[in-house]
Chains A and B, each alone.
Chain A
Amino acid sequence: MKKDRREFINTCFRFAAGASIVGVAGVLASKSAKGDFFWQLDPTKCTQCGRCATSCVVTPSAVKCIHVYDMCGYCDLCGGYFRPNVKNLSTGAENMLCPTGAIKRTYVEDPYFKYEIIDELCIGCGKCVKGCGAFGNGSLQLQISHDLCVNCNECAIARDCPSDAFKRVPLEEAYQFAGFKTNKKI
């Protein structure tokens, strides 16, 4: 008798628990059908503090400098490539701003040069981004490279970013550049 009653109460609770699990799951799943969220770094907010290079859970950081070629002036004296006040515009390591030599400078035609980022070397420190923003067109910008990013449940850089530049966005907005609208759909 006692046992029966306990069993009955148990069954009631079991159905209540089951119903609430299904309910919560249903409500949330109906919204989730729209697709996943990804972390995005808003370059209009970023102040190139350097934490992107150190806070990411993957090493080297999943944040990379991305070159928006449409914005680039192809300058000989590139504010992102050269240290301020360089004596001669050569590719010597002592002239380079990038600590890892991740920017490749190639001559295009007089007086223009092309600057490419070698993803494997870039650590996302943002030094070149700062330089390009200060002396150039701001065509070098930090972005999360989504093939490298593991899309952490909570982005470790987002926590540390002093400029509140990270947010969760849907896939269409996964890349965003300051001063340039991309029409490439990913």
Chain B
Amino acid sequence: MKKIFSLFSLLVLLIIDFAAFAQTQRFPRPEFESGYTQPVTSMPEPRAGIFALVDVLLLIAALSLITWFIHKKRSRTGVVITSLFSIVYFGFLREGCVCSVGSVQNVVLALFNPGYHIPLSALAFFVIPLVYTLFFGRTFCAGVCPLGAVQDVFLLRPISLKKWLQKVLGLIPWIYLGLAILYAATGTDFIICRYDPFVGIFRFNATFFMFAIGAAFLLISVFIARPYCRFLCPYGVILNLVSRVSKNHLSITPASCIQCKLCENSCPLDAINKPVEVKQMEDKRSATRRFILLGMIIPALMIIGGWVVSNFHENLAMVNSKVRLANELLHFNSNTMKESLEIEGFRTSGKTKEELYLESAAILKQFYYGSWMLGAFIGLVFGLSLAGLTRYRYREDYEADKGECVSCARCLKYCPVESN
């Protein structure tokens, strides 16, 4: 009996095997007699890499040009002209991809994922603006970045925001940067690309939702200078940091400041620092006390931040498609629910549920550690901006804030001093 059974199962196996074979070759390729020649299977080559090279060369050219306009010619018109070029070329023609803002994610993915290496053009778009910023301030933001440029040309009726509101909103880019790094490092998603408000407009193919957001940003840009740059852009905060230590940042006056106050309100970004008189400086004792206090507050903020965010690591991980699928499968009941496309895809992939659950558990773990780091990072940023608020800095002249200033060159014409 047993023998018969095993023989039978062998037969069944054979038939199944045969069926599987026949599946791929149900209808064997015919032998043609009429001398038919078969067309070649089309495999068109990718667009030539020359485009990427042109992009990088134009980026360098535009950066050099705008830097020359700002530093040597001190000309706002020049900045506007370069902005228009960037909007047309980097925006509409190259469809806003790849841009420096998004390249942050390629860099992070390449650093964390050994199997991926960053395209040289994306690397160039990440590094070149940083190098220019290190030498000349954020001239990239002034009019080469298509996102910044498109907001800037819409700025017609600038109003200034309350200082505290600017400070609070100014924390968002840091959180956004942290999230973008978390999602890129785990190979989950490129959120900066996904939620780029202007790329849909550059491509004329935005979904209604994204178009509405992009249009809203442009509408706000009419009154509030560069809302995306100041309160969202994750690359902007990196440029901000680099620009603070830049070698030759733009100076409002061509020679030396005479404290005439004419430029005081000329900056639409409120990036002009007023002089701080000596008598406002604090004495040594209170400075030490402040220092010690901050030394305790910042680590505390980091730990609290890490703890709070790590509590949400499962929610953060839900963006990951594998985790989402595992979760869906866990709650899937074939009797009452209709199979989603995702579950159908999983079923045909031949992967077992256990494999998927293991993978998703590994990703969850990455998110757990990642969210601790994200939280600590946010805590650190909060702490340091608190420290920045309490710090007095002696300053004689009206100066552009090297971090916040985007070198738009609007303030330059307000200065009555002649260059010598």
Closest residue of chain B to A112 (Cβ to Cβ) is B30
- Sample 12 A-B pairs with CB under 8 A, ordered by A number: A29-B123, A31-B117, A32-B117, A37-B117, A51-B341, A66-B43, A70-B29, A73-B27, A73-B29, A114-B39, A177-B41, A186-B46
Residues of A within 8 Å of B329, CB to CB, are none
- Asked whether any CB of chain A lies closer than 8 Å to the CB of B290, the reply is no
- Asked whether any CB of chain A lies closer than 8 Å to the CB of B131, the reply is yes
The DSSP consensus for interface residues of chain A is: loop
Q: B34 near A14 (CB under 8 angstroms)?
A: no
Residue in contact with A18 in the complex, picked from B30, B122, B134, B342, CB distance below 8 Å: B134
Residues of A within 8 Å of B102, CB to CB, are 153
Q: B341 near A153 (CB under 8 angstroms)?
A: no
Q: A146 near B45 (CB under 8 angstroms)?
A: yes
Task: Give residues 103-162 of A contacting B (CB, 8 Å).
Answer: 108-109, 112, 114, 116, 119, 136-138, 143, 145-154, 159, 161-162
Interface residues of B (CB under 8 A from A): 24-30, 32-34, 36, 38-47, 49, 52, 95, 97-98, 102-103, 105-107, 110-111, 116-120, 122-123, 126-127, 130-131, 134, 189-190, 193-194, 203, 205, 241-242, 244-247, 321-322, 340-342, 344-346, 348-349, 394
Residues of B within 8 Å of A161, CB to CB, are 345
> In the complex where A146-B45, A162-B345 touch, is A136 in contact with B27 (Cβ < 8 A)?
yes
Q: B49 near A36 (CB under 8 angstroms)?
A: yes
Closest 7 CB pairs of A and B: A73-B27, A163-B345, A147-B44, A154-B190, A162-B341, A146-B46, A31-B117
CB distance from B193 to the nearest CB of A (A): 5
Residue in contact with B134 in the complex, picked from A21, A66, A151, A153, CB distance below 8 Å: A21
> In the complex where A69-B39, A69-B41 touch, is A171 in contact with B46 (Cβ < 8 A)?
yes
Interface residues of A (CB under 8 A from B): 2, 10, 13-14, 17-18, 21, 24-25, 27-29, 31-34, 36-38, 45, 47, 49, 51, 57, 59, 66-75, 108-109, 112, 114, 116, 119, 136-138, 143, 145-154, 159, 161-165, 168, 171, 174-175, 177, 179, 182, 184, 186
Q: B203 near A57 (CB under 8 angstroms)?
A: yes
Q: CA separation between A108 and B41, bound complex, in Å?
A: 17
Q: B34 near A109 (CB under 8 angstroms)?
A: yes
Q: CA separation between A145 and B95, bound complex, in Å?
A: 19
Q: CA separation between A138 and B25, bound complex, in Å?
A: 9
Q: CA separation between A21 and B133, bound complex, in Å?
A: 11
Residue in contact with A159 in the complex, picked from B119, B130, B194, CB distance below 8 Å: B194
Residues of A within 8 Å of B43, CB to CB, are 66, 143, 146, 174-175, 182, 184, 186
